[in-house]
Structure 1
Amino acid sequence: MAETLVSSEGLEMEPIDLETIRSRLRELSELRINAVNAYNDLHSDPKKLLEDCASNFQGKVKQIESEDPNVASLGLEDLEAFMELLKKELLSAEEENLRISGEIETLTRTVAADSVQLDGDLEALACSLKYIDSQFHLPDGRSIPGDTHESSTHMFDGNKFEILELDQRIERSKINLSVLQDLDYTLKRVEAIGQIEYMFSGVKVIELEGTCLRLSLKTPIPTPDSLLLRHKLDCAREPTVLDHELLIEVVDKTLELKSVEIFPNDVFINGIIDAVKSLRDFVFPSGSSLGWFLRQVQHRIVLCTLRRLLVKDAKKSRHSFEYSDRDETFTAHLVGGVDAFIKICQDWPISNSALKLLSIKTSNSHSKKSISLSLICKVKELANSLDMQTRHHLVQFVDAIEEILVREMQSELHSDNTSA
């Protein structure tokens, strides 16, 4: 039966249920043990992380180069600028790491001191409870009668305030444990962000608030000549580095993507976001999807910039062009009121992949002239069977499409006249 200590001398104070105190003491002791075990696990994580980074560093570099070959193809001037940018970013990251290390050291000392005091308080409370229990029970295990309880209660009025104080310490300790758990998550998050800044050039954390992360993204743009695009360009060069900002919202207490906005919004990244969400449970280890996402966004920026540059240069030909980043298509407006819709293959123009003709139609929907389905199929078949070199070059491919279309239309007209 739970004993209760009450106040004598007329003090108005709620009774103290010793059984409740015992229960709360056990609960706090279990929390303390779990916290120690969690700390020991965390203590081994940095060592394991260091070993993993050392063993996988070269592999990461090769992987980044294979997935984003632009760095290897930079010209000498661009490479020097790129390296200078890397040095500045590395210096900034090192300063931030020093600041964070100082904060972690201070927090570690504070936590250690609080833990020692908490252990002492728990031990004192346990001893007090054992002493009280020994006063309420006979040596053979029988409980002392109620009238004796009342007299014994007066004997321990001096311990009553100590028990109340220990009870308050239990509440404060619970709050401290909750704060330490939040601190553990925050430190892991800061460490992950520091790794991202270290691994990726041109990425800098601007703001971190709650579940929102604002990043500055600098993307080096290689020159068409350095990539050997087989396109001789007459238009002006684009900037060698493009600046974007990413506003990333992550799932609470994780680094999994929830939503992303890019500024300026000149690159379509929804496909990359969908890919991360659909593949993270099967492909990405914990925390690595954010790094993969940033690498893919930079790669997408490079592709879109080069494609727009090639479209700008292609407009100097007899045709006009439009580029849709969302659909990854070119629309070529041919002479004579015919539009050709061309699908861009993955990584074009960096890779050796070829363009593909999707369809053709008349530009004016009210025109009496129409292109028959059989003619469309014939032109598509002939155009998509051209050699890879022609299909890799935008203007040459469109010129070839126009030539095939004229030839097949003349053949179809000749066939109709013969039949008539």
Structure 2
Amino acid sequence: MESSPSSDPLDLDAIRSRVKELEEIHSNCKDDDDSVMSSQDSQELLQDCALQLQSKVKQIMTDCSDFSFLGIEDLDVFVDHLKEELTTAEANSAKISNEIDILTRTHNEDSSEFENELEVMKGLLDNITSQEKKEEEKGSDCASLSREDESNLTCLHGDEEYEVLKLKNQIDERNSILKSLQDFEYAFTRFDALEQIEEALSGLKVIEFDGTCIRLSLRTYVPKLEGLLCQQNIGDTTEPSEINHELLIEVIKGTMEIKSVEIFPNDVYVGDIIDAAKSFRELFSQLALVETRSSLEWFVRKVQDRIIQCTLRRAVVKNANSSRYSLEYVDRHETVVAHLVGVDALIKVSPGWPISSSPLKLTSMNTADHYLEEIPLSLLCKVEEVANSLGEDLRENLSSFVDAIEVILKEQMQLHIHPAGTSKQ
């Protein structure tokens, strides 16, 4: 049996009611077939049979009313006719009985098939009902699960929102750190550039600092001597244009106050500058006029000035050497020592010499031990007096001043050997 599709849902209650009606009808029919025929029905059936027999007999009697007048042959024919009628009646009876059997068997088969179809229909209805109950239970479970899932989804959504917010905060923190690093990189790059510029301009670079000890690289640029030392006779010089030193400065812990200083190479005397820096710090710290680090800055500038000054002085002294005498600059005492024959002349230089036009001064003269008898102290004092009385223009130039001292020394030696009174006699 094919079912036509329909958009309307099946009315299971109506189908179930219709199946029940068919089941009752079939049950009633089966009960009628199995039960004994009622007395009224039996009487009606007997009456019908009697009427049929009576009608048949009347017809025979009508047809054979005069069989008494028939002869023997006619009776035989009549009997044969009756036999034929009987045979025909029996054949009809057998045919009817056979048809009854066929109808009974067909009825039983149809009834059994109908019962089977009813059972199948009932099974289908029960199955559909069971499925409906399961669907309802499933729907109820689904609704419960849906509410639970919705609750879980809400919790999950809340957790996800928390994670998103947490990640967003982390991203903001990372962006803030990144911006700080970028700012730091920019500041560091700028500071490094400024440090390089400062190093190029000042020649100063911090190599190491451990809290109490500062190691500085000091590059000092020396100006060209030509045209700078107008009062000195400067020829071709090979002095470097820059000189490198290292300063190892020990400071008091927690401050920039100078405690001790070493310079490498130790070719420049800085002891007086250190003492001055300490005095400078003590003086101005009491007056609260400058920061503590000013003494350190002042010290470094003074050291550079001293390096330039010593380099220029050594260059002038080196250029002033002669075959008759040799010159040596002693930085500690700011003195040029002229090694003359048997005598050392100590010439004090002024603070601004040789750049400034400051006259030199002969401070003392010393003789070797084996010349003590030949050159008395009074003679040396006389040489100092005469030399320092020379004109400033002559005393500003080292070579000229040493040459003049040499001439004066020779003159005084001649006077000492040959006094003026003896030469007249």
| TM-score, structure 1 as length reference | 0.51
Instruction: Among all aligned residue pairs of Structure 1 and Structure 2, give the percentage whose two residues are the same amino acid.
Output: 51
Paired residues in the alignment total 235
One-letter code aligned to 2:281: R
In 2, the alpha carbon distance for the partners of 1:207 and 1:217 equals 13
Equivalent of 1:312, from 313, 318, 321? 318
Paired amino acid for 2:208: E
What is the CA–CA distance in structure 2 between the aligned matches of 1:222 and 1:373, rounded to whole Å? 42
Q: Which has the higher helix share?
A: 2
Distance 1:384 1:343, change over 3 A: same
Task: Tell me how far apart the structure 1 counterparts of residues 253 and 197 of structure 2 sit (CA, whole Å).
Answer: 19
Partner residue in 2 for 1:405: 409
Q: Deviations over 1:88-117 (max 9, x none)?
A: xxxxxxx99922999xxxxxxxxxxxxxxx
Match of 1:187 in 2: none
Cα offset, 1:365, TM superposition = 0.8
CA 1:375–1:241: 2 relative to 1, 3 Å: same
Deviations 1:58-115 (A, max 9, x none): xxxxxxxxxxxxxxxxxxxxxxxxxxxxxxxxxxxxx99922999xxxxxxxxxxxxx
Equivalent-residue separation in structure 2 for 1:225 and 1:323 (angstroms): 20
Q: Does 1:344 align with 2:343?
A: no
The 1:221/1:368 distance shift into structure 2, 3 A limit, reads: closer
Once the two structures are TM-superposed, the CA of residue 376 in structure 1 deviates from its matched residue by: 2.1
In structure 1, what is the Cα distance between the partners aligned to 2:415 and 2:360?
26
Change (3 A) 1:316 1:405: closer
Read off the aligned partner of 2:360 and give its amino acid letter: L
* 1:256-335 to 2 correspondences below 5 Å: 256-283=257-284, 285-286=290-291, 287-334=293-340
1:14-64 Cα distance to aligned partner (Å, 9 max, x none): xxxxxxxxxxxxxxxxxxxxxxxxxxxxxxxxxxxxxxxxxxxxxxxxxxx
1:297, 1:365 → 2: CA distance? 38
CA deviation profile, 1:295-352 (whole Å, cap 9, x unmatched): 1000000111111111221224531112211121111122x32221111221211122
- Could you give the per-residue CA deviations for residues 156-176 of structure 1, whole angstroms, max 9, x where no partner exists? xxxxxxxxxxxxxxxxxxxxx
Residue in 1 that maps onto 2:249 = 248
Aligned-residue CA RMSD (Å): 3.1
8 Å Cα contact 2:199/2:205 also seen in 1: no
Q: CA deviation at 1:195?
A: 13
> Matches of residues 36-55 of structure 1 in structure 2 within 5 Å?
none
TM-score (norm 2): 0.50
Q: Deviations over 1:138-172 (max 9, x none)?
A: xxxxxxxxxxxxxxxxxxxxxxxxxxxxxxxxxxx
- Matches of 1:387 and 1:298 in 2, distance apart? 32
Deviations 1:172-196 (CA, angstroms, capped at 9, x unpaired): xxxxxxxxxxxxxxxxxxxxx9799
Deviation >6 Å, runs of 4+ = 193-196
Residue 218 of structure 1 corresponds to: 219
Q: Are the structure 2 counterparts of residues 262 and 392 from structure 1 closer, same or farther at C-alpha, using a change threshold of 3 Å?
A: same
Q: Quick one: structure 1 residues 289 and 301, their matched pair in 2 at CA, closer, same or farther if it must change by over 3 Å?
A: same
Task: Map 1:137-216; keep pairs closer than 5 Å.
Answer: 197=198, 201-216=202-217
Determine the C-alpha separation between the residues in 2 that align with 1:404 and 1:316. Answer: 17
CA contact (8 A) 1:361 1:370 kept: no
1:399 Cα offset (Å): 0.6
Partners of 1:387 and 1:96 in 2: CA distance = 64
Alignment check: 8 A CA contact 1:332 1:398 kept: yes
Q: Could you tell me which of 349, 358, 371 is aligned with 1:353?
A: 358
How far apart, CA to CA, are the structure 2 residues paired with 1:410 and 1:418?
A: 11
The verdict on how the C-alpha distance between 1:96 and 1:273 changes in structure 2, with shifts beyond 3 A counting, is farther
SS at match of 1:288: helix
* Residues 270 and 303, structure 2, Cα contact 8 Å, conserved in 1: yes
Letter in 2 for 1:98: A
CA, structure 1 residues 314+414, in 2 after alignment: closer, same or farther (shift >3 Å)? Answer: same
Point out the structure with max Rg over C-alpha.
2
Given residue 412 of structure 2, which amino acid in structure 1 is its aligned partner? E
Code of the aligned partner of 2:384? K
CA drift of 1:204 comes to 1.0
Give 2:376's aligned residue: 372
1:99 equivalent in alignment to 2:188 = yes
What SS does the aligned partner of 1:409 have? helix
Alpha-carbon shift at residue 217 of structure 1 (Å): 0.8
CA 1:255/1:197 → structure 2, altered by over 3 Å: closer, same or farther? farther
Unaligned runs of 5+ residues in structure 2 are: 1-183
Q: What does the per-residue CA deviation read over 1:352-381, in whole Å, with 9 as the maximum and x for residues that have no partner? A: 21211012232x312363322332222111
For residues 4-153 of structure 1, what are the structure 2 equivalents within 5 Å?
A: 98-99=187-188
Give, in whole Å, the separation in 1 of the partners of 2:379 and 2:350: 24
Distance 1:340 1:399 in 2: 11
Asked which structure has the greater RCO (Cα within 8 Å, sep 6+), the reply is 1
How far apart are 1:290 and its partner, in Å? 0.8
Name 2:103's counterpart in structure 1.
none
Cα distance in 1 for partners of 2:370, 2:216 equals: 49
Shift of residue 389, structure 1, vs aligned partner: 1.7
Q: How far 1:263 sits from its partner (Å)?
A: 1.1
Question: Residues 222 and 199 (structure 1 numbering): CA distance in 2 closer, same or farther, change over 3 Å?
Answer: closer
Counterpart of 1:14 in structure 2 is: none
CA distance in structure 2 between the aligned counterparts of 1:196 and 1:292, rounded to whole angstroms: 20
